[in-house]
Amino acid sequence: MSNAEIIEALELFLEKLNELKKSSYLDFVKKNEISVSYSESVYEETKIIINHPEIESIQSFVLNFRFFYQNNEACSIYNTYNNLVKLPASNDSVEKFQKARNELNNFLDSVAVVLNNEPITYRNIIDVFMYGNIAHANNKKNRTTHKLWKKYPFIYEFRKTNFLGALNNILYFLFYAEPIIKKELKDIGRV
């Protein structure tokens, strides 16, 4: 990848992040706590109380979000790290980005829930929602899992809350990475 292509990919990172900043999803997240709970009573039917953004808002958000998550995109988190190394960016910027990326990956690979004695990581949950329904539906395993979860609204809403929480953690990372990328682009006269 040439320096011009690397610079273009870093600029794309900032462009897509700006689109996420304008999203109704982010607006919802800033004003509300994403949650799901339930109330149970002997006298009433169990109620599930859901506080999530509208599905259209989530879908719209994911269309831009996937640029950071899918490694086939030049501005993915993975490729952005490699681009900073190839640029070459300052050691401080590379170290900050890598440390935060490692923390994010540790979170994504941590267990969110155990279902049927099987540990499910946050990354698994993202993949089920993104590649089993929202961004794609051609991954058979993820599609099957999504359909199974959907059959049980109680389980589904809790997994959806895990999904949204994981998206938000990635979003925090992107906000953290933004000034690092801006600094490097400024240092080469691009911002």
The CA distance from 125 to 108, in Å, is 9
The domain tally of the chain equals 1
- pLDDT higher for 38 or 78? 78
Cβ within 8 Å of residue 144, ≥6 positions away: 132
The token duo for 20 is: 């996420």
Q: Taking each helix axis from N to C terminus, what angle separates 153-187 and 122-129, rounded to the nearest 10 degrees? A: 100
Asked if pLDDT for residue 118 goes beyond 80, the answer is yes
Whether the pLDDT of residue 178 is over 80: the answer is: yes
Place of tokens 């996937």: 66
Q: How sure is the predictor about 8, in pLDDT bands with cuts at 50, 70 and 90?
A: very high
At 37 the pLDDT is 85
Which range marks the domain in which residue 78 is found? 3-187
pLDDT at 89 over 70: yes
Question: Which of 119, 129, 127 is CA-nearest to residue 157?
Answer: 129
- C-alpha distances out from residue 164 to 2, 77, 130, Å: 36, 18, 11
pLDDT of residue 191: 60
Minimal CA–CA distance to 166: which of 119, 129, 116? 129
Q: Is the confidence at residue 76, as pLDDT, over 80?
A: yes
